[in-house]
Structure 1
Amino acid sequence: MYHPRLYGEFYEMGLKYGSLLHDKAKFSLPKISKEKITFGMESYKELKNFSPEVIEEIKGFAEGIKDKPEHVGAFLLSLGVFNTTGQCSVFAFRNNNAVVFGRNYDMLYQFKKFTESSLIAPKDKYAYISQSDVFIGRSDGINEKGLAVAMSFVNGTKIQPGISFHFIIRKVLEECESTEQAVDVILNTKVSSANNFLVADKTGDLTVVESCPQKAMVRKPNHDENFITITNQFQLSEMKKFDANGVEWSKSKERYEGLEKQLKNLEEIDLLKAKAILSDKCVCLDLKKQQFGTIWSVVSNLNSLTIERAETKPKTTNFKPETRLDWWLNKRDINISKTMKK
């Protein structure tokens, strides 16, 4: 897993990372079909309005790898749309004094070599730690305000040129400090495909947005529950007609029921218990025949901003502390203090 630290202007972040990949890893864009290029180019037009700052980052990245911004944008915006291979399990739990967030990302084992966990600190935006299996786009993260967001794929019935989950996750982490703000962003985005988005903040506001090109709806915890979960299907009856199913192979229903069963019986949890839940065989995928399973796992206390990550199949003993967000916030505070003294 790569561990880049990117901060400053968006263009500078893109140029730094693109140049690093080009010079050190001889990176170039994989070839994609004409259908994906056309789809991606149409989506790139949408991205210009949705997040002009990220367009600048794409321009910098393209310069770094000696390619065109449109090519980079088309590649990124077609990912995870035509083939929803990833299968994931996510939960958030509201204690009396803290909110705990947990996430497994399940994918083909061959994609392990492309995974990254990044410290992103754009100028005039919120800083955050986030994970992904593609440069620039994000799959989950926790920002400095104690807001966490993660997506899971749903096998939807329609795709359209629009904004892919990678860039929705980014916008939420960079611009939102509350679940309410994040939900507003997701509900008002022209999405390209079907996904669940789980959002939680440090106040204990837990929400899932079930989203697809046809519709988006909000799901909250039941009145007697202090947690919420997602795997790879829609749960709301109004949304099920937009879910084509076909995810039985990844045990999506079993994982959802496994999470629900474990969390229903708890009054409070800590990070150790969160790790145990994500490591449980009912939740953690290890499909040897398909060479598919959990390739990273993250837990966090959103109130203390304590983050731990396993960069392979999770066990309670193989999570490591993530300290880069603390490092950045301390660095920023010191710089502010020095500036004020001048």
Structure 2
Amino acid sequence: MKPIYTDVIQFRGSHYDFGYMQGLKLKDSFILPNRRKQFGTSNRHLMINEKEARDMLLTYAPRIWEEINGLADALGWNMHDAIREFGGYYLEYTRSGCSILTGTDFMVRNYDSSPQGYEGRFALYQPTDGGYATIGPTMQITGRTDGLNEKGLSMGYNFINRRNSEDGFICNMIGRLILENCTDVGEAIELLEELPHRRSFSYVLLDRSGRSVVVEASPRSVVVREASVSTNHFELLTEENRYQSDDSKRREQALLTHKNQTDDAYSAFRLLNDLDSGVFSMKYSTASGTLHTASYFPHSLEVGFALGPDRLPLMMDFQKWVDGERLYAKRINGKIDTHLPFAHMSEM
């Protein structure tokens, strides 16, 4: 088992200042050099229209645009490179697994992907220039893989397919926009229906009313179904599914069986995090191994987070943080059984 960690990042202030602070931290990080090695020269070809990306960000995410400006200034980059790296519009997203289970007042989520793309950053951000305070793991710096906001809206997404992509935002930026701009499931659905989508993903939403939905979103269509379980296939937009979905359906059945037996948050966490449950994945070499298990509680605004299997979650009181207290944890530790390097821990 390899020891791993996630850094806890806390910030209150404007989006520009948040971006600038993150840029200063990234100067001494392995993340950006490793990302350049991963993508090689291929990501340069993805910068097809800088004006289009700028216009899209200013339309749907003007505050994120300010954050990208702060990142660029701190790193000494031009905006061409900053938009490509942090804009959540062009860079490809590797295929992944992921399983999500919701109850009336909790969401538990396994994030399954490749260690080589994992940033090891867990961010608490309270903006002073508009938008809601949010908590959750980052992806491509500005995006979020899952999380919770101060209004009690929680979000997680599941990869479906990379085929037939179109111009649009990628999943982690969409997750950030949901958490920072929406108060409840209804507003999140409206945003998902408005945004252009690059790839096909399911977005699982839960708010303080107890309403839980799965939004099936592709570049061509967005549909909503009331559900408490989601893995890696669509139930309605079946034409968008991958050819092979056996493992996704197996994990879905395990979650549904558990849901029918109990609605307890701790047992749900154990189902997703325990190795012997059959939901936690060790398929790191195929970019679908479980990296973290997170639990979000809309009413209390508590968050639980664990790296690797068979662990107790670190519990964080996000409500106290929103009210002005500082979280004392600076790093979350865990262990994962893989030989693959992590993007934030060593040079690749």
Which TM-score bucket, shorter chain as reference?
0.7 to 0.9
Pair 1:211–1:27, CA change in 2 (3 A): closer
The match for 1:118 among 111, 115, 123 is 123
What CA distance in whole angstroms lies between the structure 2 residues aligned with 1:289 and 1:138?
Answer: 23
TM-score, length-normalised on structure 1? 0.84
Shift of 1:180: 0.7
- CA separation in 2, counterparts of 1:151 and 1:46? 22
Q: What amino acid is aligned across from residue 229 of structure 1 in structure 2?
A: V
8 A Cα contact 1:118 1:130, kept in partner: yes
| Residue pair 1:128, 1:325 contacting (<8 A) in 2 also | no
Which aligned pairs between 1:1-342 and structure 2 lie closer than 5 A? 1-23=6-28, 27=32, 30=36, 31-33=40-42, 34-38=44-48, 42-77=52-87, 82-94=92-104, 99-112=105-118, 114-123=119-128, 124-221=130-227, 228-236=228-236, 239-246=237-244, 248=246, 251-266=247-262, 268-270=263-265, 272-280=266-274, 281-287=277-283, 290=286, 292-311=288-307, 313-315=308-310, 317-323=311-317, 325-331=319-325
Distance 1:46 1:169, change over 3 A: same
**SS of the residue aligned with 1:180?**
helix
- Distance (whole Å) between structure 2 residues aligned to residue 180 and residue 142 of structure 1: 15
Tell me the C-alpha RMSD between the 2 structures.
2.4
After superposition, give the CA deviation of every residue in 1:306-334 in whole Å (9 maximum; x if it has no partner). 211002x232x4311124552232349xx
Residues 213-232 of structure 1 show CA distances to partners (whole Å, capped at 9, x for unaligned) of 110100113xxxxxx11111
- Asked whether the 8 Å contact 2:46–2:90 carries over to 1, the reply is no
Q: How many residues align?
A: 313
TM-score, length-normalised on structure 2? 0.82
Larger RCO (CA under 8 A, 6+ residues apart): 2
Aligned in 2, Cα 1:118/1:180: closer, same or farther, shift over 3 Å?
Answer: same
Task: Return the offset for 1:14.
Answer: 0.2
Paired residue type of 1:220:
E
Aligned equivalents of 1:12, 1:175: Cα separation in 2: 19
Quick one: which amino acid aligns to residue 106 of structure 2?
A: V
For residues 185-213 of structure 1, the C-alpha deviation after alignment (integer angstroms, 9 at most, x for no partner) is: 11111111111000000111111110001
Residues 146 and 201 in structure 1, CA contact (< 8 A), matched pair in contact too = yes
Alpha-carbon separation, structure 2, partners of 1:70 and 1:288: 32
In 1, Cα distance between the equivalents of 2:177 and 2:318?
A: 20
- 1:49 match: secondary structure: helix
> For residues 31 and 285 of structure 2, what CA distance do their matches in structure 1 show?
32
Per-residue Cα deviation, 1:245-295 (whole angstroms, up to 9, x for no partner): 3455xx2221111111111222x313x212112124321101266475111
The alpha-carbon distance between structure 1 residues 235 and 24, as it changes in their structure 2 partners (threshold 3 A), is closer
The answer to whether the Cα contact below 8 Å between 2:160 and 2:201 also exists between their aligned partners in 1 is yes
